[in-house]
Structure 1
């Protein structure tokens, strides 16, 4: 009998994961034999996250010292939309512009709110006398804005780790994948994506606890940061459509109602304040063409290299939406036809990964989206590290490619188009590999490390009656 992860005994990662078990031999052996941690998982995980935060801050030191202008930010790997938008969207003079206009700010309402609050805080701290304080001065307001944004994101990162730890149930150490994630270390300071990722993790935790409305509320909150948390409703719907999960259609309706209610509460006031400003995110999503590092951008580069012009924005939108719809249909068939009910987070991972592969743009910080889903859906350290290695290869490749476009450096100081395309194909291939692993786990539940950790063998006196009773008790929870 395969039970819910939260029902099984706690699992030591150094005993369960092959890579960690091998590495633990250099540090006292697997936990429970010679190595016996004295601190709770939460304490250790928070400590690891603080270490990750410090490492992340160090990766941006060049830009903190020299500013975020010029091509050198790409060579240093510390480019940030946050600092760029502070000047480009005139947040220093109009901090509430992302919400009330009349300027342009192409983000959903909660991301706009975070950006506006931090801009107002920056203006307040520098409005006293304009003198330098703790390294900040009026002529370097963007530094203070980035520092405040990074500090807020660091707190959210700590919350994310705790939420993933709780959602992992008997496998709390899987949250270490999030705590020391190289993808988050390098990606958290680029944009505000960590906020949406944490909202989605909270929705997953609420679903695990059978708080259907609360899960929906957090989905609505997440969608007000970024679009992708909406895909969790699709994963829930697939499970509801199965007859062997113990979930009625009311579960989906409750989650949908919670998501709609929270989204309306957050978005209607923004519509009333300035519908034009509120709608800019949706207009950009429809009208934009091929963005960097998407398959459509690669198509465009190859076409231009052969003397063509590449696909039009309308063509890209049609292909992107059509292929994503086809991928979702495939995930639906997989979820319905699998012999054993998939775990919700496995389906969610597949949907989000498919979206990232087929979307019109793949910004470097998008790699943050999958980290908690990897920790919950496919917690294999070797695969997680290999995937992040390809993501960091792409991270540097796109910056070096952009440095060659905007700068006047010698060719040896940037990546040519061929290397950039290879890096993009590498990160796509690594994501497809992870998706294949999750599909195999769905088709063969015995290879799923989460289900395997929750396996409880039946005792010698257990007969058909007790087995049926156990199946009834766990039927509605084992797939979460």
Structure 2
């Protein structure tokens, strides 16, 4: 028997009655989709100058309408009918993205007519992919509404978030965000295999959904409920392999470009490591340092999850892991904010803090393009004030994200202050302890007893038996 002072849920509880029953009505889902469509129109308007005038530098940066859709269509063989990882191409035309994203980029090119000028066809390619990411955006909003259950109105934040409006059409990230959001919804509905399959596909699109398995591992270790986790992990591995193995066997060099490029690339785009480039370290050296610190953060998140008085919520752990990866990474592309938005809404739906963070991200987003315009214009555009703006944006976006992480950590350590748990209690959910409701998205962990806990700092280590 453990003497751990925080092992409050010593006996299993029935799953019934622990979760908020509230689900978004069809009418509310229609409202969310309509609002998202309106926000998408605003996002398209921010790209309109480039759609009309082309994506040449420095104008593409001055008018803040850059898009990888338009950049990669003529430079990666897509405009010539070549398919990524399938067609032999010169190395400079290889796609530096994971396999499933490259497939989406290639399939999108099939929808572009072969007639017309390159400029016209590039606009069509942009429009096709813009339509695709808007559909993904709508799916993210709906999935977040269902996952939030009794707080489905919080999904409105995902529908109107400036971070998505401004960056949704920059790259294909919303495809991965959609798969991750659907995976959280599937997990909350006790469908771990489907959740794992979606996470595996998400990791084949962008790396970050892979980190969700780390959060699930912590919860499985704490509860001793391994079957759901292992089923999800097996499904995720199978999905990832099904997408990647064919390209690994037929075009390994092109397929591996993403991994070698990520490891070797120099520090770039709003990374904290820009402050240390004076050391002369190579990109691969910064990768070792960055990955090492990220691993330490993951250990810290795991310890937090295994030593807190009550089991943390899944969204909280996922957010902390993904945020650590972005804060410590060698690059923070403007669209990476989309990875975080649904997680922030599910983990800590504090609207004031959310809007302060989004304001900082908008300031940072604009600073990125002003600095890019200064560089690509050979210094003719802007001056020192642009670089100061850019540097200030990096500091602000990091500071506000760290503030969100601090709020989540406090909620884990003091769950009575967690707005999601408070809302669940107000809906009549049976408390795990006075003032503490079950995670409404716990899935197969719902009602589980703590089987393995680590003591807080200063106590001896011993598992619960």
Find the counterpart in structure 1 of residue 252 from structure 2: 275
Find the counterpart in structure 2 of residue 383 from structure 1: 353
Find the counterpart in structure 1 of residue 326 from structure 2: 356
Find the counterpart in structure 2 of residue 200 from structure 1: 180
Distance change >3 Å, CA 213–CA 332, structure 1 → 2? same
Output the CA distance in 2 between the equivalents of 1:202 and 1:423: 31
- Please say if 1:181 is aligned against 2:161: yes
Output the CA distance in 2 between the equivalents of 1:397 and 1:4: 50
Distance change >3 Å, CA 4–CA 151, structure 1 → 2? farther
Find the counterpart in structure 1 of residue 40 from structure 2: 53
3-state SS in 1 of match to 2:79: coil
Find the counterpart in structure 2 of residue 116 from structure 1: 106
Residue 272 of structure 1: CA displacement? 2.8
Distance change >3 Å, CA 6–CA 56, structure 1 → 2? farther
Residue 414 of structure 1: CA displacement? 7.5
Output the CA distance in 1 between the equivalents of 2:210 and 2:121: 35
Give yes or no for contact 1:4–1:477 (8 Å, CA) kept in 2: no
> What is the aligned counterpart of 1:286 among 263, 277, 289?
263
User: Within 5 Å, which residues of 2 pair with 1:8-407?
Assistant: 8=20, 10=22, 40-102=27-89, 103-122=93-112, 125-127=113-115, 130=116, 137-243=117-223, 248-300=225-277, 303=278, 310-407=280-377
Distance change >3 Å, CA 173–CA 458, structure 1 → 2? closer
Distance change >3 Å, CA 279–CA 410, structure 1 → 2? closer
- Please say if 1:438 is aligned against 2:405: no
Give yes or no for contact 1:293–1:362 (8 Å, CA) kept in 2: yes
Distance change >3 Å, CA 139–CA 249, structure 1 → 2? closer
Output the CA distance in 1 between the equivalents of 2:226 and 2:35: 41
3-state SS in 1 of match to 2:29: helix
3-state SS in 1 of match to 2:311: coil
Residue 239 of structure 1: CA displacement? 0.6
Give yes or no for contact 2:23–2:149 (8 Å, CA) kept in 1: no
Give yes or no for contact 1:99–1:112 (8 Å, CA) kept in 2: no
Give yes or no for contact 2:77–2:83 (8 Å, CA) kept in 1: no
Output the CA distance in 2 between the equivalents of 1:412 and 1:291: 20
Give the count of matched residue pairs: 427
Give yes or no for contact 2:367–2:386 (8 Å, CA) kept in 1: no
Greater RCO, CA 8 A, separation 6+: 2
Output the CA distance in 2 between the equivalents of 1:198 and 1:11: 19
Give yes or no for contact 2:23–2:146 (8 Å, CA) kept in 1: no
Output the CA distance in 2 between the equivalents of 1:256 and 1:436: 29
Give yes or no for contact 1:45–1:176 (8 Å, CA) kept in 2: yes
Where structure 2 has 5 or more consecutive residues not aligned to the other structure, the ranges are 1-8, 449-465
Give yes or no for contact 2:54–2:119 (8 Å, CA) kept in 1: no
Residue 153 of structure 1: CA displacement? 0.8
Give yes or no for contact 1:5–1:171 (8 Å, CA) kept in 2: no
Residue 139 of structure 1: CA displacement? 3.9
Distance change >3 Å, CA 68–CA 11, structure 1 → 2? same
Output the CA distance in 2 between the equivalents of 1:6 and 1:95: 53
Instruction: Give 4+ residue runs of structure 1 displaced > 3 Å after superposition.
Output: 1-6, 9-12, 97-101, 408-416, 456-459, 473-476
Length-normalised TM-score, structure 1: 0.83
Where structure 1 has 5 or more consecutive residues not aligned to the other structure, the ranges are 13-37, 131-136, 304-308
Deviations 1:328-353 (A, max 9, x none): 11101110010010001100000000
Output the CA distance in 2 between the equivalents of 1:75 and 1:193: 23
Output the CA distance in 2 between the equivalents of 1:204 and 1:285: 27
Output the CA distance in 1 between the equivalents of 2:137 and 2:18: 23
Residue 415 of structure 1: CA displacement? 4.5
3-state SS in 1 of match to 2:425: coil
Residue 297 of structure 1: CA displacement? 1.8
3-state SS in 2 of match to 1:96: coil
Output the CA distance in 1 between the equivalents of 2:214 and 2:69: 31
Deviations 1:82-106 (A, max 9, x none): 1111122131113313443324111
